[in-house]
C-alpha cells in the first residue's frame, strides 16, 4: 500500500513586494501559476520516518537538502503532531523541479508530503487545517496545495484562486547554481530602502490574464525581485535578452530566481524559443504549460 502525489512548480506572473515587516517577511501581492514541471512523492508504510531523493538528469543531487530538516520530513512531523499520532513512513521523492530555483520545488514537496500523509494515515484533515499547516511550513506552500492560478497576499500564504482562461506556454531555463531566497529579499531591501509598505497591486496583471491573450499577459508580467536577482547574477539579464531574441514574447526571473521563464505565444513558439536557447549553449531548457493542478494523489492507497 503506497500513495504517490504529484506537485507542480510555480512561477509568479506578478510579484509585488513591499517594505520588510517587523517579523522579517515582506508583504506581497502576487499571482502564482502552477506549470507542468513536477516532483512525484511516494509514501510507503514504515516504522521509521525516512526520505530518499532521486533527481532528474538536469539536477545536481548535491544541491538537494537532506537530513532531518528536509521540508518533507518537517511536513510529516507537523501533520502527525496535529493529528496526535507518530510520524512514520518511507518517502521517496523524484525531483524534476529545479532546486533553489525560484520555482517552489521544496514547497511542492512539502505540499505533496501533507497530502500523502493525510491519505496514507487516513486522517481526512480539513482543507482549512491543511492550508494552515502548509502556511506554517512556508509562505508559498498553501499555493502548492491549491495550484492553478491564484492571488497570494500577506507574506504569500493567503491564497485565493482566480479565473484563468488561458493555456499559457512557458520555457524555463534553470541555472546550474541556485540562489538563496532570503539573500535575494535582503538585496531587495538594500536596493529599495524606500519600498512602499503596500506592494504593487496585482490588478493590472489580473486584467491582462482575463483577456487570454499572450501578448497582453507578456506586457503585464511584473517581478519586484528581478532587479535584485539580476544584480546578484548579471548573466540572468543576458539570458532574458537572448530568449526574447529567440522569439519569446517576454522573459523574466521566476520568483527569487535564478530560473528564467519565457512566455511564448503558442506551442510552436515555445518549441522555437527552446530550440534557439539550446542552440545557444544552454544545457537545460524545459517547456511547460500552465495552469496545472496543485498537489494531488496520482496513485492511491
Ligand atoms: O516562508 P518561507 O520559509 O518560504 O520564506 C523563506 C525566506 O524568504 C524567509 O525567511 C524570508 O527571508 C524570505 N521571505 C520574505 N518575505 C516573504 C516570503 C519569504 O522575506 N513574503
Hey, what's the cell of 210? Answer: 482575463
CA-nearest residue, atom 15 of ligand 1: 25
Measured in Å, residue 236 CA sits from the centre of ligand 1 at 22
Is the peptide bond between 87 and the residue preceding it cis, with omega within 30 degrees of 0? no
CA-nearest residue, atom 19 of ligand 1: 25
Atom of ligand 1 nearest to the CA of 17: 21
Whole-number Å distance between alpha carbons of 15 and 103: 13
pLDDT at residue 300 in the model? 87
> What SS3 state is found at 265?
coil
Which residue positions in the chain have pLDDT lower than 70?
A: 301
Probe target for ligand 1 pocket from 182, 223, 225, 229, with the most ligand atoms within 8 Å of CB: 182
Exposure letters 8-37 (e unless 16+ CB within 10 A, then b): bbbbbbbbbbbbbeeeeebbbbbbbbbbbb
Probe target for ligand 1 pocket from 103, 105, 159, 185, with the most ligand atoms within 8 Å of CB: 185
Q: Which residue has the cell 505533496?
A: 112
| Beta strand pairing call for 49-55 and 260-264 | unpaired
**Ligand 1: residues whose CB is within 6 Å?**
25-26, 28, 138-140, 155-156, 181-182, 185
DSSP letters along 169-209, please? EEEEE--SS---HHHHHHHHHHH-TT--SSPPPSHHHHHHH
Residues with a catalytic annotation lie at: 10, 140
pLDDT at residue 68 in the model? 85
Is the peptide bond between 291 and the residue preceding it cis, with omega within 30 degrees of 0? yes
- Of 170, 61, 53, the residue nearest 113 (C-alpha): 53
Whole-number Å distance between alpha carbons of 206 and 100: 27
pLDDT tens digits, 12-27: 999 999 999 999 999 9
Whole-number Å distance between alpha carbons of 190 and 187: 5
Measured in Å, residue 181 CA sits from the centre of ligand 1 at 7
Whole-number Å distance between alpha carbons of 262 and 249: 7
pLDDT tens digits, 22-57: 999 999 999 999 999 999 999 999 999 999 999 999
CA-nearest residue, atom 9 of ligand 1: 182
pLDDT at residue 301 in the model? 62
Exposure letters 95-120 (e unless 16+ CB within 10 A, then b): bbbbbbbbbbbbbbbbbbbbbbbbbb
Whole-number Å distance between alpha carbons of 246 and 250: 10
Amino acid at each position: 500500500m503506497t500513495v504517490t502525489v504529484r506537485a507542480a512548480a510555480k512561477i509568479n506572473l506578478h510579484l509585488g513586494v513591499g517594505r520588510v515587516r517587523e517579523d522579517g517577511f515582506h508583504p506581497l501581492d502576487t499571482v502564482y501559476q502552477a506549470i507542468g514541471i513536477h516532483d512525484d512523492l511516494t509514501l510507503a508504510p514504515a516504522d521509521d520516518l525516512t526520505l530518499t531523493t532521486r533527481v532528474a538528469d538536469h539536477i545536481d543531487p548535491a544541491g538537494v537538502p537532506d537530513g532531518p530538516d528536509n521540508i518533507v520530513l518537517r511536513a510529516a512531523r507537523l501533520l502527525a503532531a496535529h493529528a496526535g499520532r507518530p510520524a512514520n513512513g518511507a518517502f521517496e521523492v523524484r525531483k524534476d523541479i529545479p532546486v533553489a530555483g525560484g520555482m517552489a520545488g521544496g514547497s511542492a514537496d512539502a505540499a505533496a508530503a501533507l497530502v500523502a500523509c493525510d491519505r496514507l494515515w487516513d486522517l481526512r484533515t480539513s482543507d482549512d487545517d491543511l492550508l494552515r499547516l502548509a502556511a506554517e511550513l512556508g509562505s508559498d506552500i498553501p499555493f502548492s496545495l491549491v495550484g492553478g492560478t491564484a492571488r497570494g497576499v500577506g507574506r504569500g500564504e493567503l491564497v485565493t484562486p482566480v479565473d484563468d482562461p488561458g493555456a499559457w506556454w512557458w520555457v524555463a531555463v534553470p541555472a546550474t547554481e541556485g540562489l538563496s531566497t532570503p539573500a535575494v529579499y535582503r538585496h531587495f531591501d538594500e536596493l529599495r530602502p524606500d519600498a512602499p509598505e503596500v506592494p504593487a497591486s496585482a490588478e493590472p496583471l489580473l486584467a491582462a490574464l482575463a483577456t487570454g491573450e499572450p501578448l497582453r499577459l507578456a506586457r503585464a508580467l511584473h517581478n519586484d525581485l528581478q532587479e535584485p536577482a539580476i544584480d546578484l547574477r548579471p548573466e540572468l539579464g543576458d539570458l532574458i535578452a537572448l530568449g526574447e531574441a529567440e522569439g519569446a514574447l517576454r522573459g523574466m526571473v521566476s520568483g527569487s530566481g535564478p530560473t528564467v521563464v519565457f512566455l511564448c505565444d503558442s506551442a510552436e513558439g515555445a518549441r522555437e524559443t527552446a530550440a534557439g536557447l539550446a542552440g545557444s549553449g544552454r544545457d537545460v531548457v524545459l517547456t511547460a504549460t500552465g495552469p496545472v493542478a496543485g498537489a494531488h494523489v496520482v496513485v492511491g492507497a
